[in-house]
Amino acid sequence: MATDQVELVKSKTDIVQVIGERVTLKRAGRHFKGLCPFHSEKSPSFIVSPERQSFKCFGCQEGGDAIAFLQKYDGMSFFEALESLAKRAGVTLEDYRPSAADSERKRLLSLLSLAAEYYHYLLTKHESGRVAREYLKKRGITNEAISQFYLGFAPAQWRSVSDFLIKKKQYTPQELEKTGMVIRQERSTGYYDRFRGRVMFPLKDHKGVVVGFSGRTLSSDTTEAKYINSPETSLYSKGRMLYGLWENREAIRKADQLVLVEGELDVIPSWQAGVKQVAAIKGSAFTSEQAQLVSRYTKNVAISLDADAAGQEAIKRAVIVAEPLDMSIRVVQVTGGKDPGEVASANPRAWREQVARAALYWDFLLDSAIARHDPDSGEGTSAISREVVPAIAGISNLVMRAHYVGELAARLHVPETSIYDEITRLAKRRELSTLKETVAKIERGATNRREELSLYVLSLALQYYDALHEFFGVVQKTWFSHPAAAKLFAALTDWDTKQPFTIQAFATKLPPELAPTLDECYLRDLSIQADEAVKEWQHSSVELEILAIRDRQKALASEIAKAESGTSGETLLPLQEEFSRLSRRLSEIT
């Protein structure tokens, strides 16, 4: 019954509509195509099929139904995705029961939400929170900001939030440990609160759900960590979220810009200063997952990290991560303070102006390199070139690349052709490296033409069944080196031609383990017209037969050698006859 309800929800869900609300899709024949939201790409390889009600990315290989999409895109559990789609479709889930993992996840998230409420209450209403209120007041943090970011306070006690959650809310120490709220004592069954004597910053994911915490110490003890964060858990991963993104999402959309800073006390002063389109990367590494997340809201990012060497290197890495997503990266140069939080607190107007003056990364890189090296010396020219040319070479927009080639040439007093020659040299080195890697893969057997062709021939058969089914008889199941493709082709050849072929009807007759290969082949973008299908089939099926024959001959050669040496029980004559027959067939078709 539960399975029936899942199928009912899926049958009432339009996957194109669900995905289209999150990814820009364009019709491509019977399918829809777009840029994959799960990896960086510039040429669309993400296919959605309204007939199969499934999606497949041929770049990163992610695929599945609408439930799987929400699990991956929104970070939902299976049950959360099912609930979301059921509500959308107007289906009441009466018989479906969440799995133990779903129930645990829901309970742990509720635990974290209650912890955030507890910390917020202590900060805003309880006498114990006075020290934290005074600290925040000295830092210029307003009550409005405390409310907006739901700040809290963890008392300097070994067991505060844990007593509240265990004794009053009936959670277990094991559950608190799974969320990172407590630390288990070594060689003991005891535990204590992870966060003590700290201002608490709830860490919310892109759905507004608390998944962890960051705590800023109120102690003057320099040996104590200034900030501690929740550990990596099943709910929280530092590299997959941005502090303040949820709270400031509407400001980011309205400004069509995200100002990226380092920590919580950079975000909040910026928000108070009027630059509300701000979020923190929780460190200095901007990850591809964070870039994908940001791209849902805007393509324009202004980065403001610390001015030290680590911060500058982090900006370079961020550009490498963001460039494949076609993001525009600018750099905010902080003056008048050591970090954005200090500037925004001391001089809000100055911070707003610095954000408004943010320079394109390429201008910043060029200016920064020339400021540190003498462009009139050979050594300086070489150093500037080493820093800037690889970055310019990575600009995919050729007009923009030409602009910065001209800028660099003028600053170094060299011809533009010299810059282009260096870009070409770099490109050749990269091509050689790629070629070596490809050759290595081939040598390791990573590139299997027969297996790829097996999937391609099956794709033709599935997508152009009406035009090709009369030719299926000339292709043998044994030619397919991909086991699932062989089974699917066998099922196709057994299809009752008196019945109209539809992918939905065909799929219902298959075991579930064949569904991923069915999707991979049916959703593949073949980029051919229906009238070209027969010609493509004839060419591809012949090549598939040739590859199958050659593989069989290799195996036969080994068997013949063993038979000749007497180490095999095989009779030599039948093996030789089969080898000769295959050789004759190979001569006929090549």
pLDDT digits (tens, 9 = 90+) for 197-248: 999 999 999 889 999 999 999 988 878 889 999 999 999 999 889 999 999 9
pLDDT digits (tens, 9 = 90+) for 513-558: 999 999 999 999 887 777 788 999 999 999 999 999 999 999 999 8
Q: 134 in a domain, yes or no?
A: yes
Is residue 36 a contact partner of residue 62, using CB atoms and an 8 Å limit? yes
**Longest CA pairwise span in the chain (Å):** 96
From first CA to last CA, the distance across the chain in angstroms is 56
Q: 369 in a domain, yes or no?
A: no
Whether 472 and 536 map to the same domain: the answer is yes
Percent of the chain with pLDDT over 70: 96
End position of a domain, from candidates 357, 385, 411: 357
With residue 522 as reference, give the H or E element that holds it.
helix 515-522
Please say whether the dihedral angle defined by the alpha carbons of residues 523, 524, 528 and 530, taken in this order, is positive or negative.
Answer: negative
Which residues, in sequence order, are bridge partners of residue 280? 243, 261
Q: 94 in a domain, yes or no?
A: no
The region of weakest confidence among 120-134, 423-437, 466-480 is 423-437
Of 574 and 480, which is predicted with more confidence? 480
Q: Would residue 170 be called left, alpha or beta, if left means φ above 0 and alpha means ψ between -120 and 50 degrees?
A: left
- Check residue 286 and give its pLDDT: 87
pLDDT exceeds cutoff 90 at 101:
no
C-alpha closest to that of 303 among 273, 271, 280, 323: 280
The region of weakest confidence among 41-50, 95-104, 451-460, 512-521 is 95-104
End position of a domain, from candidates 415, 439, 463: 439
Of 377 and 527, which is predicted with more confidence? 377
Q: 95 in a domain, yes or no?
A: no
Whether 462 and 561 map to the same domain: the answer is yes
Q: 548 in a domain, yes or no?
A: yes
- Check residue 162 and give its pLDDT: 97
Q: Per the structure, how many domains does the chain have? A: 5
pLDDT exceeds cutoff 70 at 380:
yes
Please say whether the dihedral angle defined by the alpha carbons of residues 232, 235, 241 and 242, taken in this order, is positive or negative.
Answer: negative
Whether 517 and 585 map to the same domain: the answer is yes
| Rounded average pLDDT over 292-320 | 83
pLDDT exceeds cutoff 90 at 32:
yes
C-alpha closest to that of 111 among 169, 154, 60: 169
| Rounded average pLDDT over 361-388 | 90
Q: 96 in a domain, yes or no?
A: no
Strands of 171-307, DSSP E:
182-184, 191-193, 198-204, 210-217, 227-229, 258-261, 278-280, 300-303
- Check residue 3 and give its pLDDT: 64
The region of weakest confidence among 131-135, 158-162, 210-214, 555-559 is 555-559
- Residue 47, C-beta contacts closer than 8 angstroms, at least 6 positions apart: 28, 31, 32, 33, 55, 56, 57, 58, 523, 524, 525
- Check residue 127 and give its pLDDT: 95
- Check residue 4 and give its pLDDT: 80
Which residue blocks in 234-346 are alpha helix, DSSP H? 249-255, 264-272, 288-294, 309-322, 340-346
Q: 364 in a domain, yes or no?
A: no
- Check residue 481 and give its pLDDT: 93
Whether 576 and 494 map to the same domain: the answer is yes
Specify the pTM: 0.77
| Rounded average pLDDT over 368-374 | 90
pLDDT exceeds cutoff 90 at 448:
no
Whether 107 and 71 map to the same domain: the answer is no
Both tokens of 345, joined, read: 């607190």
Whether 312 and 272 map to the same domain: the answer is yes
Confidence of residue 446 (pLDDT cuts 50, 70, 90): very low
Whether 227 and 260 map to the same domain: the answer is no
End position of a domain, from candidates 439, 457, 491: 439
Whether 433 and 463 map to the same domain: the answer is no
- Residue 60, C-beta contacts closer than 8 angstroms, at least 6 positions apart: 36, 38, 39
- Check residue 82 and give its pLDDT: 93
How high does pLDDT run on average in the chain?
90
The region of weakest confidence among 27-31, 90-94, 220-224, 471-475 is 220-224
Whether 133 and 218 map to the same domain: the answer is yes
Confidence of residue 306 (pLDDT cuts 50, 70, 90): low
| Rounded average pLDDT over 308-331 | 80
- Residue 75, C-beta contacts closer than 8 angstroms, at least 6 positions apart: 205, 206, 207, 240
Distance, CA of 355 to CA of 480 (rounded, Å): 59
Confidence of residue 441 (pLDDT cuts 50, 70, 90): low
Whether 70 and 144 map to the same domain: the answer is no
CATH number assigned to the domain comprising residue 278 = 3.40.1360.10
Whether 457 and 433 map to the same domain: the answer is no
Both tokens of 554, joined, read: 């290799």
Q: 367 in a domain, yes or no?
A: no
- Check residue 397 and give its pLDDT: 82
Whether 224 and 259 map to the same domain: the answer is no
Q: In which domain, by residue range, is 253 found?
A: 249-357
